[in-house]
Structure 1
Amino acid sequence: MAGSRVDLKVVLLGKEFGGKTSLVERYLHDRFHGDVPYQNTIGAAFGAKKVETSRKTITMGIWDTAGSERYEAMSRIYYRGARAAIVCYDLTDISSFERTRFWVQELKTNEEHCKIYLCGTKFDLVENNKRARQVDYHMTTDFADEIHAEVIETSSKTGYHIKDLFQKIAEDFVDDPSNLEIREPNTLNLDEKHSPKFFCCR
Structure 2
Amino acid sequence: MDRLSDSSVGDARVAGDADGIDGPVRVDDPSYLVGVPDEFQRLWTPHRMVYIQQGDPGHEGCPFCVAPTLSDEDALIVARGEHAYALLNLFPYNSGHLLVCPYRHIALYDDATPEEVAEIGSLTQTAMRVIREVSHNDGFNIGMNQGAVAGAGIAAHLHQHIVPRWAQDANFFPIIARTKALPQLLGDVRAALADAWPKGDA
Using structure 2 for the length normalisation, give the TM-score: 0.32
Greater Rg by CA? 2
Using structure 1 for the length normalisation, give the TM-score: 0.32
Between 1 and 2, higher relative CO (CA 8 Å, sep ≥ 6) is seen in 1
Larger proportion of strand:
1
